[in-house]
Amino acid sequence: KRPAGAPDKSLARPVTKVGVVGAGLMASQLALLFARRLEVPVVLTDLDQERLDKGVGHAHGEIDKLLAKGRVSADKASRLKALITGSLSKDAFAGADFVIEAVFEEMSVKQKVFAEVEAVVSDECVLATNTSSLSVTEMAAKLRRPERVVGFHFFNPVAVLPLLEIVRGEKTDDAALATAFAVGRQLKKSCVLVKDAPAFVVNRILVRLLAEIVKAVDEGTPIETAERAAAPLGLPMPPFVLMGLVGPAIALHVNETLHAAFPDRFPLSDNLAKMVAAGKTGVYRPDFTLDPEVVEIFSGG
């Protein structure tokens, strides 16, 4: 059944090569998913060789895990590894039909990246953004062909979570949108078309919840108590564990975007900002004990 608002399938263009801008954790998960489900070459780009090697290495490491679990054959594992390559130059995107960006969540950075990609790809190539909360319309606005831009928002962990929010910008055309839905289906995701509104739909719900829990901790509720109080909500993981999975910097960024759009609904937390400024990647340490420095920040230290 065609998802609500999706254009006719026949408008979709074939995708034979994919580009991924960025080689961070999200980007490398995306590279693996595209290679595994589309079985086409996937090229990652980033600013330096170290990040690139790390991103490609992470995707290859995940393929080894799939092999060890018997989810892919040895033959398929080596084919997948060969499909995922890295390049420091966006020229390597020449011939790509679908490029997705997963770079730093800053509008000007994303606009610049898209302009650079547009200079090397064909007019038919779709440019997708995995932004968590920024406007797809604004991201496309300065391009020669803004009609090729779609929002393509995944959830962490990308390999496991089935939902994909697809966003139509003001100028997105039916061919780009139909291609996005066709790719989403090939990726075996459950695709929904959402409005180009701040943080789309899922993050509005999720961040509202997280922002209120963080606020309760700001106001003096101990972290352990807030986690226990949230347990009856039946979330797949406790809220502060989830914050570590998403990354506090991303959580803060989405919250700031939502606070700007709906100040009455999304409280800001100075303590969350302090935690991000201190370079903390979670409330919990890898052994799942609370990080005492984070606890100190939240107790006004």
Inter-residue contact 128 to 99 (CB < 8 Å)? yes
- Report the alpha-carbon distance of residue 16 to residue 18 in Å, rounded: 7
- Kindly identify the residues of this chain, within the stretch 51-90, that bind ligand 3HC according to CB under 6 A: 69
Q: Which residue lies nearer to ligand 3HC by CB, 32 or 96?
A: 32
Cα(173)–Cα(124) distance, integer angstroms: 11
Smallest distance, ligand 3HC to C-beta of residue 186, A: 19
* 82 or 237: CB nearest ligand 3HC: 237
Binding mask 125-154 for ligand 3HC (x = CB under 6 A): -------x----------------------
Residue nearest to ligand 3HC (CB): 132
The residue (of 12 and 32) whose beta carbon lies closer to ligand 3HC is 32
When the beta carbons of 73 and 89 are compared against ligand 3HC, the nearer one is 73
Does residue 286 belong to the site contacting ligand 3HC (CB under 6 A)? no
Q: How far is the CB of 90 from ligand 3HC (least distance, A)?
A: 24
CB 65, min distance to ligand 3HC, A: 7
- Binding string, 164-193, against ligand 3HC, x = CB under 6 A? ------------------------------
Could you tell me if 44 and 140 are in contact, meaning their C-beta atoms sit under 8 angstroms apart?
A: no
Q: Which of residues 200-229 bind ligand 3HC (CB under 6 A)?
A: 203, 206
Q: Which of 87, 111, 137, 156 binds ligand 3HC (CB under 6 A)?
A: 156
Site map 230..269 versus ligand 3HC, x via CB under 6 A: ------xx----x--xx---x-------------------
Q: Which of 58, 153, 253, 259 is catalytic?
A: 153
> How far is it, in rounded angstroms, from Cα 260 to Cα 73?
49
Candidates 34, 98, 155, 284: give the one binding ligand 3HC (CB under 6 A). Answer: 155
> Contacting ligand 3HC (CB under 6 A), which of 3, 5, 157, 162?
157
Instruction: Give CA–CA dist 9/86, Å, rounded.
Output: 31
Query: Does 292 sit near ligand 3HC (CB under 6 A)?
Result: no
**Is 253 one of the catalytic residues?**
no
Q: Give the interface with ligand 3HC as residue ranges (CB under 6 A).
A: 69, 132, 155-157, 159-161, 203, 206, 236-237, 242, 245-246, 250
Question: Which residues belong to the active site?
Answer: 153
